Amino acid sequence: MWSMNLSKYSYGLDVCRSLFHRLLAQIAPLHYLAGFWDELAATDPNQAILTGVTDDQEFLKSGRCSLGFLENHIVLDSTWHVLDYGCGTGRVTRFIAPKVRRVTAADISGTMLSLLKQETKHISTITAVRIRSRSLKELPDNEYDLIFSMLVLQHLNKTNASKTLFHLGHKLKTGGYMFLQFPSADYKRTFPELYDRMSETDASQPGLARLYYPHEIEMLLHDNQLCPLKFEYRDGDYYVSARKVVGPDALKPLPPPFQERYAADIAVMSGASSWPTGQKYSLTCRLRNIGNMSWRNDETDLVNYVQLGVSLAADDGHIIIRDFARQALPTVLGPDAEITLSITCPAITEKGRYFLLIDMVNERHFWFHDLAGTVCRHAVEVIS
């Protein structure tokens, strides 16, 4: 009896605590967010910033790597004033500082900034600024040549992320650059404990990740008068560079990578040209992902489960069996990745000339050639 009552009491406390946090997030969102990140920073700042990383050397290595991603998009100028928005303890700040004139490191967490000051006290060109307002009034307008933000926007619900980007745009000089990082849907599989659909709109869950799709990033840039320069997918994240422009250039079409694109380059590496009746037929193909979406190999994925598929067509080209053969991918295949894969087709009982139409298929949704592009055609003759 006692254990049952205590259990109910504990459950009631959890519900009250959850409601309190949600209420606090609504009436005092910045104080709530600051307290959340201050608490994490006091416990394990590395882990708070980069999930799964506690070792200092690995943490710093990731900062150098992130700066490398930025420099793949934007050539830094030694005269620039740069804003690191959501700088944390200076994971990237400390490495970009020697390359530019000045860096403003801004964060909502006072504890994070205190750690940054301790760790970068030997770098005189870094200025720490604590953010206390949604409008970012602590930062001057039209001041920065480059604003970058990594591992930050994902912790805001998407409405607040858009508002933040709007205000950051006012801080950027006309002609200035912005570099942003967004987690893709692949992040959901890598860190499922950090993702919850409710976090898309709920401001009381800053520790969870909001996932982004290319069309959402496109809208964010367009709505905030940012002209895209380059779009890159790496290890589950999108890296996007853009420029603040005015006039007709502000509305120019986005480059193709901003569209979700499934595309494959398929070539038959081996497979006989003749095929005895009543026997299965095998062929080996080289597959290359030339789109911008990863091909998942998890059959429980209802959105992006991709396999190699074969349709059987007659000599005149009409399809006899649409779903003739399938072969699962051995691993996730990201953009620009390539593998060699064998597939076995069922036996055919009637002699004649046929075509095997080989393509990737997003199960439950479409064959790639249904969207665009061509299908790989392999001619065979079935003999007795």
Confidence band for 327, pLDDT divided at 50, 70 and 90:
very high
Tokens linked to 197: 């659909």
pLDDT at position 131 over 60:
yes
Mean pLDDT over 331-354 rounds to: 92
Q: Identify the pLDDT of residue 183.
A: 82
Q: Identify the pLDDT of residue 280.
A: 92
Q: Identify the pLDDT of residue 367.
A: 86
Name the DSSP class of 108.
Answer: S
Instruction: Tell me the average pLDDT of the chain.
Output: 81
Confidence band for 303, pLDDT divided at 50, 70 and 90:
low
Q: What's the CA gap between 189 and 210, in Å, rounded?
A: 13
CB 270 within 8 Å of CB 285: no
Nearest to 142 by CA among 83, 189, 98, 200: 83
**Residue 235, Ramachandran bin (φ over 0: left; ψ between -120 and 50: alpha; else beta):** left
Tokens linked to 288: 């290359």
Numbered ranges of CATH 2.60.40.10 in the chain: 264-383
Q: Identify the pLDDT of residue 22.
A: 43
Confidence band for 10, pLDDT divided at 50, 70 and 90:
very low
Residue type for 258, please? F
Mean pLDDT over 5-20 rounds to: 44
Q: What's the CA gap between 258 and 261, in Å, rounded?
A: 8
At residue 343's C-alpha, the angle toward residues 342 and 344, to 5°, is: 130
Tokens linked to 138: 């602590």
Q: What's the CA gap between 233 and 332, in Å, rounded?
A: 14
Compare 315 and 373 and report the one with higher pLDDT.
Answer: 315
Name the DSSP class of 291.
Answer: S
Token pair 């190699």 in the structure block, residue: 308
At residue 363's C-alpha, the angle toward residues 358 and 368, to 5°, is: 45
| Superfamily for the 37-258 domain | Vaccinia Virus protein VP39 (3.40.50.150)
Compare 31 and 267 and report the one with higher pLDDT.
Answer: 267
pLDDT, tens digit, 9 for 90 and up, residues 184-219: 765 554 444 444 443 444 444 555 667 787 778 888
Confidence band for 365, pLDDT divided at 50, 70 and 90:
confident
Q: What's the CA gap between 20 and 201, in Å, rounded?
A: 17
**Segment among 43-57, 151-165, 213-227 with least mean pLDDT:** 43-57
Compare 134 and 79 and report the one with higher pLDDT.
Answer: 79
Nearest to 210 by CA among 184, 179, 181, 236: 184
Q: Identify the pLDDT of residue 345.
A: 94
What CATH code is assigned to 264-383?
A: 2.60.40.10
pLDDT, tens digit, 9 for 90 and up, residues 112-129: 999 999 999 999 999 999
CB 184 within 8 Å of CB 231: no
- Provide the whole-model pTM: 0.59
Numbered ranges of CATH 3.40.50.150 in the chain: 37-258
Q: Identify the pLDDT of residue 159.
A: 83
